[in-house]
Structure 1
Amino acid sequence: MMHCLDLAGIGAGPFNLAVAALMREQSLSHRFFEAKTEFSWHPGLMLPGAMMQTSYLKDLVTPVDPTNPCSFLAYLVEKKRFYDFLHAEQRTVSRCEFADYLSWAAHRLKSVQMGSRVHSVLDQGDHFRLDVQGPSGRESVCARNLCIAAGKKPHFPLCSKPLLSDKCFHALEIALRDPDVNDKRIAVIGGGQTGAEVVINLLSGHWGRPAQVTWASRRSNYLPLDETPFTNDWFTPEYVDAFRQLSPHRREEIVAEQKLASDGVSPATLTQLYQLFYRLAHLEGDSERVVLMPNRELVAMSCRGDYQLQLENHLLGDTRGREWISADMVILCTGLSEALPPCLAPLQERIPRDDHGRLLLDNAFATRLEGDSGERRLYFLGTGRASHGIAEPQLSLSAWRAAQVVNDLLETEVYDIRQTGNFMKWITPQTSRVAVA
């Protein structure tokens, strides 16, 4: 029988890179398979001036293993820019630099196998068999456990799907498309950080000079990311532990309430936008070149030479709020949605889910196939917002999440992930605990 890996990773984005970095000194055999031939992280969003919303210290390893050679600080030292970086006094780093750091880490990890697409995963009783198309051809890989972190897919409003084209596309592709917007009316749909960055680059002439930019958002205003200290305590292991003790219904309510803790526009970006709008309106006499439309939801689209977009104005709250705008190009900044990779299709019906189709994961982000009496584990990273809270799809807890996986896989506390002196008492010992689903 072929050698069986202790862990096979599907995908080598930030979440699985964190696991690979923490596994590098462990005795268990492991490989991570990535379909892309060269590492890249959201290359279509590498826009000028785009900044991270997460501290660089919340990298792949530092919160649980600060001496790990895959830390962001080790990257700075190796690139010979440590002092320059320090003197720049940056609270966050550019998205471009963080992507370069991730690529640097991926190249340092021998367990990461680029250009290797997993076509299927089959249940072989006591192990899984992966059909992998790699650089050297097709191979069959045996693994006892799986770690799946294959990323997300663009979310498209239903009405936009039949009209997708070179003039109607998701913002995830915009830097790769490099669109010509000269003299065009541009509709930007979506009021989050990506929408804000797209609008800045449109009005700054990065792709030419548009005739008009209309920015529509479902939100009541262009709202800031809440990154204040107490809100940031939601992105800690202690909070996740408390969140795990709640009923599924209560978890769902809380995640909805916390939306702007992870999905708002950085305050510095909002200030930059407002200053830009001020210059256009009052100093350049070009106030008609930008139209801001908060409280609007895209409900219908058609294309007859140009695009006709029907928006519902939720400020009015009834059918009187239906409005139409015309555009030559539509850029959809409508976020990403969770999706399991197609290679898991043979296992789909046996992956435990709740009544809403959401994965049922334990504290270590793991589950077992239904009907499996063995010890095999499937770890799912980036898909557990409902089970682990608002921080789960975010980079903030990448290292802690990976440490949970490694500790669980080795059945020992390789990494001490506890903290002392936490100010917040989310649940006191006297509080009765609700069973975790």
Structure 2
Amino acid sequence: MMKQHQAHRAPLDLAGIGIGPFNLSLAAHLDAVGELEVRFFDQNESFAWHPGMMLPDVTLQTSFLKDLVSATHPVSPWSFLSYLVANRRFYAFLNADFPAIPRQEFASYLAWVAASLPRLQFGAQVREVDFDGRDFTVRLASETFRARNLALGVGLRPAIPQFLNRLRPEAAFHSSRAAFELARCAGKRVAVIGGGQSGAEIVLSLLNRGVGAPAHVDWISLRPNFLPLDETPFTNELFTPPYVASFHSLPEARRHTAVEREKLAGDGVSAETLQAIYRRLYVLRHLETGGPSTSLLPHREVINAEPMEHGCQLIMRNGMDGQMDIRKVDILVLATGYSYELPSCLAPLASRIDLDRSGRPRLDPDFAVRWDGPAASRIFALNAGLLSHGIAEPQLSLMAWRSAVIANALARRKAFDVERPETMVQWLDRMPQGAEAGGKA
């Protein structure tokens, strides 16, 4: 009887797969669009935002005004300011005058929204999604939903170098688990691979651990130096809707080149973190005794990691002089970033989705995936458009705007104002046709 009831249930207007910040932002926008029936599913029992990276004193790299809704729906009850008021900390937050807000505070805000917003279903793993010719079928463990549209918000997967497969599990861990694993680095020789913000935060945390500090820290980066995040005004124009529209209109090869060229706009280390590391190194070298020794190793390409009885032996090439470098370490910390792959639950549809050369789905301006199904049945992909929409796509900066674009597409009306604001920079001689409000190009 249960299955028969499910078969006759009216289809949802949207089924969201995954409840991270991006789908949470979409759900917050759709909460203001009354005519749509939506449901969001997540396999975790409750909301958690990068719990493994909640190290002491880490801060957000973007303004708290770039929250779930404020850029496109500032009167929403789900804004960061609404969170401060609801939790009676508005004045204390202002008086604290954070130069950059604690990441733990933003995580608390996201969890507050997730606990309060309706139509979110946790502890609900989507096992398979198929298409019956009219609707998507979304199969969970104990029930099945039909949906006219999908929103994929499952996030990225840790990028693990292939040579790590030969090492014992205890010899290495990804930065996404740093908060749970760093304690076992005490007294060990530790190598942190990765010169971005995550790698820098882990290095700083290791250097500040006191009695639980490692014996030695190698900080290894492929980049020619430990390079800062570029957050100057004209670079920040890359994180605006006009730039996204211009970027999307470029040929695919040019978009690939642009993403590589703009890497430090979204993946450099904050100046505050670099300064804190340098100051801590100064103190350890000149003012304190007994702290961890350190080696800063930029411009190194890790070629292999050979397993040893304890830890491993790293083989690196120095990009400055071309010489080989060998280091023996007990534990590897992989701040090697994340990679995109289609959610496994989409396996029945995978062959029908148009992928680019990196394995990401090709997206229309409104973030709808190009596939061979009916145009009215859309699969919206969030955090999949690095090579279609630019470096803002994996960042928090434009998540509210992207959610508003998708909400408008679902509602088939201008529920939110997403017209391109005036920009300081003229990226193209002529703006692409049809890019207004995330329309089809």
TM-score, with structure 1 as normaliser:
0.94
Aligned counterpart, 1:406? 407
Aligned counterpart, 2:173? 169
Aligned counterpart, 1:70? 78
Asked if the contact 2:171/2:332 (under 8 Å) is kept, the reply is yes
Distance 1:201 1:142, change over 3 A: same
Aligned counterpart, 1:214? 218
Asked if the contact 2:213/2:292 (under 8 Å) is kept, the reply is no
Q: What do you get for the CA RMSD once the two structures are aligned? A: 1.9
Q: How big is the shift at 1:115?
A: 0.6
- Structure 1 CA distance for aligned equivalents of residues 357 and 267 of structure 2: 26
Aligned counterpart, 1:205? 209
Aligned counterpart, 1:31? 39
SS state at 1:129 partner: strand
- Structure 2 CA distance for aligned equivalents of residues 67 and 246 of structure 1: 35
Identity of aligned residues (%): 43
Q: How big is the shift at 1:72?
A: 0.4
Aligned counterpart, 1:117? 125
Asked if the contact 2:207/2:292 (under 8 Å) is kept, the reply is no
SS state at 1:180 partner: helix
- Structure 2 CA distance for aligned equivalents of residues 5 and 368 of structure 1: 21
> Bigger CA drift: 307-316 or 207-216?
207-216
Distance 1:362 1:433, change over 3 A: closer
Q: How big is the shift at 1:36?
A: 0.4
The code of the aligned residue for 1:153 comes to R
Which residue, out of 140, 156, 178, partners 1:132?
Answer: 140
- Structure 2 CA distance for aligned equivalents of residues 340 and 421 of structure 1: 35
Q: How big is the shift at 1:232?
A: 0.4
Aligned counterpart, 2:314? 309
Asked if the contact 1:64/1:400 (under 8 Å) is kept, the reply is yes
Aligned counterpart, 1:292? 296
Aligned counterpart, 1:4? 11
Large movers: runs of 4+ above 6 Å: 430-434
> Bigger CA drift: 275-284 or 177-186?
177-186
- Structure 2 CA distance for aligned equivalents of residues 91 and 144 of structure 1: 44
Structure 1 segment 15-414 matched on structure 2, within 5 A = 15-26=22-33, 27-133=35-141, 138-205=142-209, 208-284=212-288, 289-306=293-310, 307-317=312-322, 321-370=323-372, 372-414=373-415
Asked if the contact 2:364/2:370 (under 8 Å) is kept, the reply is no
- Structure 2 CA distance for aligned equivalents of residues 105 and 350 of structure 1: 35
The code of the aligned residue for 1:359 comes to P
Asked if the contact 1:59/1:71 (under 8 Å) is kept, the reply is yes
Question: Which deviations, in whole Å up to 9, do the C-alpha atoms of 1:362-395 show, x marking residues without a partner?
Answer: 011002531x235100000001111101111111
SS state at 1:369 partner: coil
- Structure 1 CA distance for aligned equivalents of residues 259 and 39 of structure 2: 33
Asked if the contact 1:296/1:312 (under 8 Å) is kept, the reply is yes
> Bigger CA drift: 200-209 or 142-151?
200-209
Q: How big is the shift at 1:420?
A: 4.1
The runs of 5 or more residues in structure 2 that have no matched partner are 1-7
Distance 1:33 1:164, change over 3 A: farther
Distance 1:419 1:362, change over 3 A: closer
Question: Which deviations, in whole Å up to 9, do the C-alpha atoms of 1:289-336 show, x marking residues without a partner?
Answer: 01100001111111222310001111113xxx1110011111111111
The code of the aligned residue for 2:91 comes to Y
- Structure 2 CA distance for aligned equivalents of residues 78 and 207 of structure 1: 39
Aligned counterpart, 1:425? 426
Q: How big is the shift at 1:428?
A: 2.7
Question: Which deviations, in whole Å up to 9, do the C-alpha atoms of 1:115-165 show, x marking residues without a partner?
Answer: 1100000111110111113xxxx0011101000010111111111122151
The code of the aligned residue for 2:179 comes to A
Asked if the contact 2:42/2:124 (under 8 Å) is kept, the reply is yes
> Bigger CA drift: 253-262 or 277-286?
277-286
